[in-house]
């Protein structure tokens, strides 16, 4: 009997991988490797999208923080004016409240009358 050589010169009787199912395992490994490569690519693109979204959310949070700071300053100034107004006499405060109420009443009366 003469040995038959495959590929790099290995005789089929001793090292023939095609008979032992090696090519089946190699094909399965290639298929699984490609599947894993696809999944890694999907995860990579998803993580890039998440990173972009995080950057946008951080930018919006920073802008909101600035808006809240400016609103806090405005509210602080308004509270200061209210404290100044409340330190005055109670009669003056009551007079202002009555004038405001009358103004609102006349505005509402005027709107109803025009209908």
Backbone phi and psi for residue 3, each to the nearest 5 degrees, phi listed first = -70, 145
Query: Can you give the residue range of the structural domain that contains 52?
Result: 24-88
Side-chain half-sphere CA neighbours of 15 within 13 A: 7
What pLDDT was estimated at residue 44? 96
How far is the CA of 6 from the CAs of 19, 27, 39, 104, in angstroms? 11, 19, 36, 102
**Can you tell me the distance from the alpha carbon of 82 to that of 76, in angstroms, rounded to the nearest whole number?**
10
Q: Specify the range with the lowest mean pLDDT, choosing from 7-21, 41-55, 65-79, 90-104.
A: 7-21
User: In terms of pLDDT, which residue wins out, 90 or 40?
Assistant: 40
Q: Is residue 111 part of a domain?
A: no
Could you tell me if residue 74 is inside a domain?
yes
Least confident of 3-12, 39-48, 101-110: 3-12
pTM: 0.45
For the chain, give the mean pLDDT.
82
> How many structural domains are present in the chain?
1
Residue 84 lies inside a defined structural domain of this protein: yes
9-13, 50-54, 63-67, 95-99: lowest mean pLDDT where? Answer: 9-13
The pLDDT of residue 34 is above 60: yes
Domain-embedded: residue 55:
yes
> Cα–Cα distances in Å, from 26 out to 16, 31, 52?
14, 9, 39
Q: With respect to residue 72, please indicate whether it lies within any of the assigned structural domains.
A: yes
Does residue 2 sit in helix, strand or coil? coil
Q: Calculate mean pLDDT across residues 61-89.
A: 83
Report yes or no on 50 lying in a domain.
yes
Instruction: Please indicate, yes or no, if residue 110 is contained in any of the structural domains.
Output: no
């Amino acid at each position: 009997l003469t040995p038959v050589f495959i590929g790099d010169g290995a005789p089929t009787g001793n090292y023939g991988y095609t008979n032992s199912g090696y090519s089946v395992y190699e094909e399965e490994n290639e298929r699984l490797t490609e599947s894993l490569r696809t999944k890694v690519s999907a995860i990579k693109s998803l993580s890039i999208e998440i990173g972009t979204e995080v950057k946008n959310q951080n930018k919006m949070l920073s802008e909101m923080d600035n808006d809240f700071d400016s609103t806090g300053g405005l509210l602080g100034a308004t509270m200061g004016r209210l404290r100044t107004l409340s330190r005055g006499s109670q009669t003056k405060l009551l007079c202002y409240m009555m004038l405001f109420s009358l103004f609102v009443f006349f505005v509402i009366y005027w709107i109803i009358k025009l209908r």
